[in-house]
Amino acid sequence: MIIRAATEDDFEQLFSFGSMIVEFRVSADESFMDRDEFLLRITNNEDVFLLAELDSRIIGFILFGINDKDRLLKNKYACLVYLVVDADYRRKGIAGKLYDTALGLLHKKGITHIYSWANVECDNSMIRFLTKRKFAKGHQYMWMDRKI
């Protein structure tokens, strides 16, 4: 298994992988992310987008989004937008490896704080994962959306 940066060539496989993950769906009507935005997240050179690959098959990925407008501020924030591992490969430390590798890259980019959202209605895996990595619990919110 290797961990490497995602590239544009990985887009289709990554997007269809992400589309199958029920935990990613925050909206009843919309896909987990617009295709255009997802592609931009891979290609923009600001975010940290890594994947785990086994025999040329993607079995997990992590995306930290970075708001580059924070550039001049003392604290620099990155959001853990997505972390997922194929259900057949969970509990083998793959998410941990994706996370640790991403954290190294975030340090190099000068990021000082990271945050995330975890769905409290899903199994406890993400909350346990983040708690184990010293994330403190904040408020619980309900996602609501509509087209305008």
Ligand X SMILES: CC(C)(COP(=O)(O)OP(=O)(O)OC[C@H]1O[C@@H](n2cnc3c(N)ncnc32)[C@H](O)[C@@H]1OP(=O)(O)O)[C@@H](O)C(=O)NCCC(=O)NCCS
Q: What residue ranges bind ligand X (CB under 6 A)? A: 21, 23, 82-85, 90-96, 122-126, 128-129, 132
Cα–Cα nearest to 80, from 106, 54, 53: 106
Least Å distance between CB 111 and ligand X? Answer: 18
Least Å distance between CB 125 and ligand X? Answer: 3
CA dihedral 112, 49, 127, 121 (to 10 degrees): 130
Least Å distance between CB 123 and ligand X? Answer: 5
Tell me the torsion sign for CA atoms 104, 112, 51, 4: negative
Least Å distance between CB 116 and ligand X? Answer: 7
For ligand X, the closer CB: 3 or 39: 3
For ligand X, the closer CB: 110 or 137: 137
How far, in Å, are 13, 63, 86, 126 from residue 66 at the CA level?
Answer: 23, 10, 25, 20
For ligand X, the closer CB: 136 or 148: 136
For ligand X, the closer CB: 8 or 123: 123
Tally Cβ neighbours within 10 Å of residue 32: 18
Give the integer Cα–Cα distance in Å for 119 and 123. Answer: 8
